[in-house]
Amino acid sequence: MKRFAAFLFLVIFSIACLIPAQAQRMTNEQAARQSRRDARKQEKMLKKANKRQRKGMMRAQKADRKATRKANRELRRRQGR
């Protein structure tokens, strides 16, 4: 009786362990869908990073133009005296 109970426990335990592993498998369609989703996510992040970089470059250019104008005004003021 003990052997039978142990064998039955072993069978039930092995079946219970196999079920989650089978549930975690992805079909080709699911894998493709997830791959497309990840690609869109990556593209969105890249687009956002590029936008931040462009904005930073525009700020730097604006600051340069402003500094140049200020330097030119100072130069004209010194030459005029």
Q: Where are the domains of the chain?
A: 35-81
Block residue for tokens 């525009």:
58
Tell me how far CA of residue 52 lies from CA of 47, 55, 56, in angstroms: 9, 5, 6
pLDDT exceeds cutoff 60 at 21 = no
Mean pLDDT of 64-78: 95
pLDDT exceeds cutoff 80 at 1 = no
Residue 53 exposure: Cα atoms within 13 Å on the Cβ side: 6
Q: DSSP code of 24?
A: T
Residue pair 26/34 in contact (Cβ under 8 Å)? The answer is yes
pLDDT exceeds cutoff 60 at 22 = no
Q: How far apart are CA 72 and CA 66, in angstroms?
A: 10
